[in-house]
Structure 1
Amino acid sequence: MEHDAGSPAAGEPARYVAAPDAPSSSSTPAAAASATATPAAPPAAPPAAAAAGSASPGGFARLARLAPGALAASYADLCAGAWPVGPEQLPVVYHPSYNISFFGIEKLHPFDSGKFAKVVKALKREGVLRGDGQLVTPREATPELLADVHTEDYLHRIHNHNFTVVQVTELAPLAMLPNRLLQWRVVAPMRMHVGGTMLALGLALERGWAVNVGGGMHHASAGRGMGWCPFDDIMLGVRRARRAVAAAEGAGAEAAAAGAAGAAVAAAGGSGTAAPGADAAVDAAAAGAAAGNGGDSGGGVGGGSLKVLVIDLDAHQGNGVEHDKLTLGDTQLFILDMYNAGVFPRDDEAKAAIDIKVELKSGTEDDIYLNRLRAALERAALVLPKPDLVVYNAGTDILAGDPLGRLAVSPAGVVERDELVWRWSRDVAQAPIAMLLSGGYAKDSAAVISTSLANLFNKFDLNPAPGA
């Protein structure tokens, strides 16, 4: 299923609809029929999440799919500290080792591998973040975790052969370094990015939003890495999130079954003989527990039924995630990809996985870019299932002057783009959002990211006042 969201008709401004099932005048009859035929209501937030949302003017907390702490056990291997449940600790994931440096060789590539520290430093300087205590620290994704998507052969090569790392980073001098040093200074930090993305997706499901100050390695697929992307952190994060939700729902169903059994005994006066009809209640609760523990067949928003929408706005086609979607046959992953069709990777085979494709020309400026994005989001609301989670790949290589993205969007345009996606996720999709930073090769990339994140924190009231 591929929908090409083109430019709006002449004289008709692009916009997104106020509700997913309200077609606009520019919608096709087929799209309107699809939206009418398959209405999808968002799953009800758990009481704890709903209560949190009512106290948050930004409104993202009310979109949480699970109560705070529900996923703590499922992510214990990826969270370096205590699982964040209070409002003071934000769902913002960062580790200093995200920043890659190896004797200045990294500067031979236009990618600023130290931009992540610059973003965090700027957010602290501007008072958006009040200190490291508000951040969530991830752990590296182990080779065992990476094997959930990546092949054994590829994992062996990326961890043992310099040439594979050279292919991914496009830095030939790395071939001369000892492999142990290369693993320490390059591959391990990238595994940390993966851990951060996986953790951010889980946090978004509990908190309604999350940001990984890194990640978004959308060119990597099961058997290869490319374009500074060694691992498909997006697909790895999606698959972990599904299992975590299924496990949490299964635990909840088991507790319900135990409670029903206790109630049945109590109703019988403690005699050990259940009251009439109690067996049916126990059996129903037990069946729910079994379904929840079924992994990919979990009920509710769990297991394979967790519908995820990837909004990929990096300047380059996210071909790695797309290849993995096709290889794994993931029918619950939907992709909106808006990219410069005239630059790397030009992967026609991977386009079969894109649900809404927006191809741009080099030099595209703010007005055209933002109008086409609005049209694409409107189309997503009409023709795609309502997502349980939005993964936003927010590359800043769309900036004017970026040597690899070759688009011409202004810093103000990037800020408007990010706010547009977050607002659409909250108001139209009504789904939690996890934001990844992805690519960005212009000198002002880190500064623009910081400005945009500060705007999101301000507009959506993401950082509560101390003691609130």
Structure 2
Amino acid sequence: MENPSPGLRACARPDISAIICAKYNDLGGWMKPGQLPIVYSKAYNIGFMGIENLHPFDSKKFGKVVSGLERAGILRRGQLVTAVAADEPMLRDVHDAEYLHSMRTSPRKMAQVVELPPVACLPNFIVQRYLHHPQCVHVGGTMLAAALALEHGWSINLGGGMHHAHRKGGAGWCAYDDHMLALRRLRRSTDNKISKALYIDLDVHQGNGVERDKLHFDDDALHILDMYNSHLWPGDVYAQAAINTHVPFSTGIADAAYLNQLQDALDTAFRECQPNIVLYNAGTDILDGDPLGRCCISPTGIAERDQMVWMKAISARVPICMVLSGGYASRSAAVVTDSIEQLFKIFSLGSMIENR
């Protein structure tokens, strides 16, 4: 692992990225000179009069990650690509019209999605501005990041990962299925040159929204690897039928057992799928001390997990798009920051803009 950046360059598809770059102008446009394939918006950080603090999810962790990467010297001003909101016509590609209408008009529906009952009592214009719009920006960020991965062989959305949302509903702070929206847009934009996708979900919770949408669209070209704590919500048995590489584990799992199971699962998934792109849902709620995850994975274990996924994609010469997803511990942002910093150092990510 001394100089893996040539491997990452082998993951890139510049022939395709050159063709599709103009097709993403409605999502903020392509990278400018000096920018990295990392997508972010200040709008990711959800907050209104402290009501967001009633939920254990740190809805402002995304900005904390950016600040941490800047302090570490990993990011400099102007290097991030700015996400913009996915509009309703984009969301219709996956989501039911009735559900979209309720999200646009009903504070009660949003309260159900973000699991904050007081939201139902807020005026709708407040809900739209401070809750709904940020969710749409997260979606737009993932959609753009998936395309940007083709340019350099990698991308990161410093947000996204709403894996509980599906065609007709949302839950667990997830309004819209950004993964399926991103994949379907990418397939159309590339005329299916990018079609076979490996979705790796390592959030502690089952990614039932993506799985339900795979079943709805009968998407055999999407291979799902889902590794999650089977003792936790949502326990969606119906959605499990969509999982190709199924790795349920028990409460209390620690680094060694987790990483061994993951390595076996990655070997199986890459062998069976042979993907054109990897979509990686890198939730950190497996962290020891996370109030919802009930696992015993150390910060070092999370960093090793991320490196393992990236190295597997590099070995297969497949572009990878990583999103942050869940993480409820107070130190989650710091752990994410440290893991991304290590990815930069190990895979020489920052040097890539110097060689464009």
Q: If the length of structure 2 is used for normalisation, what is the TM-score?
A: 0.96
Aligned partner of 2:223 in structure 1 is: 334
Moved >2 Å (runs of 4+): 55-59, 65-70, 465-468
CA distance, structure 2, for counterparts of residue 117 and residue 106 of structure 1: 15
Q: Greater CA radius of gyration, 1 or 2?
A: 1
Q: 2:182 aligns with which of 234, 237, 240?
A: 237
CA distance, structure 1, for counterparts of residue 40 and residue 313 of structure 2: 23
Q: Which amino acid aligns with 2:11?
A: L
Question: Are the aligned partners of 1:124 and 1:130 in contact in 2 as well (CA < 8 Å)?
Answer: yes
Pair 1:65–1:465, CA change in 2 (3 A): closer
Shift of 1:465: 7.8
Pair 1:466–1:61, CA change in 2 (3 A): closer
Q: 2:73 aligns with which of 107, 127, 132?
A: 127
Q: Does 1:83 align with 2:34?
A: no
Shift of 1:59: 2.5
TM alignment of 1:62-461, pairs within 5 A: 62-67=10-15, 68-79=17-28, 83-84=30-31, 86=33, 88-131=34-77, 133-246=78-191, 298=192, 301-302=193-194, 306-382=195-271, 384-427=272-315, 429-461=316-348
CA distance, structure 2, for counterparts of residue 467 and residue 223 of structure 1: 44
Shift of 1:446: 0.1
Root mean square deviation, CA, Å: 1.5
CA distance, structure 2, for counterparts of residue 443 and residue 153 of structure 1: 36
CA distance, structure 2, for counterparts of residue 137 and residue 104 of structure 1: 25
Pair 1:157–1:370, CA change in 2 (3 A): same
Pair 1:339–1:466, CA change in 2 (3 A): closer
Q: Which amino acid aligns with 1:322?
A: E
Shift of 1:467: 5.1
- Give SS of 1:371's match: helix
CA distance, structure 2, for counterparts of residue 58 and residue 171 of structure 1: 47
CA distance, structure 2, for counterparts of residue 182 and residue 57 of structure 1: 43
Question: Are the aligned partners of 1:58 and 1:461 in contact in 2 as well (CA < 8 Å)?
Answer: no
Moved more, 111-120 or 203-212: 203-212
Q: Which amino acid aligns with 1:462?
A: L
Q: Which amino acid aligns with 2:292?
A: L
Q: Which amino acid aligns with 1:387?
A: P
Question: Are the aligned partners of 2:115 and 2:172 in contact in 1 as well (CA < 8 Å)?
Answer: yes
**Residue deviations 1:308-348, cap 9 Å, x none?**
00000000000000000000111111100000000010000
Pair 1:58–1:125, CA change in 2 (3 A): farther
Aligned partner of 1:279 in structure 2 is: none
Pair 1:329–1:467, CA change in 2 (3 A): closer
CA distance, structure 1, for counterparts of residue 353 and residue 269 of structure 2: 38
**Residue deviations 1:77-110, cap 9 Å, x none?**
001xx52164x31000000000000100100100
CA distance, structure 2, for counterparts of residue 141 and residue 134 of structure 1: 22
- Structure 2: runs of 5+ lacking an equivalent: none
Pair 1:467–1:460, CA change in 2 (3 A): closer
**Residue deviations 1:388-433, cap 9 Å, x none?**
0000000000001111111110001000000000001101x22000
Aligned residues: 352
Question: Are the aligned partners of 1:69 and 1:84 in contact in 2 as well (CA < 8 Å)?
Answer: no
**Residue deviations 1:262-318, cap 9 Å, x none?**
xxxxxxxxxxxxxxxxxxxxxxxxxxxxxxxxxxxx5xx24xxx1000000000000
CA distance, structure 1, for counterparts of residue 161 and residue 351 of structure 2: 27
Aligned partner of 1:57 in structure 2 is: 5
Question: Are the aligned partners of 1:214 and 1:436 in contact in 2 as well (CA < 8 Å)?
Answer: yes
- Give SS of 2:27's match: coil
Pair 1:58–1:121, CA change in 2 (3 A): farther
Shift of 1:72: 1.6
Aligned partner of 1:44 in structure 2 is: none
Q: Which amino acid aligns with 2:64?
A: K
CA distance, structure 2, for counterparts of residue 202 and residue 346 of structure 1: 32
Question: Are the aligned partners of 2:198 and 2:224 in contact in 1 as well (CA < 8 Å)?
Answer: yes
Pair 1:467–1:145, CA change in 2 (3 A): closer
Question: Are the aligned partners of 1:58 and 1:462 in contact in 2 as well (CA < 8 Å)?
Answer: no
Q: If the length of structure 1 is used for normalisation, what is the TM-score?
A: 0.73
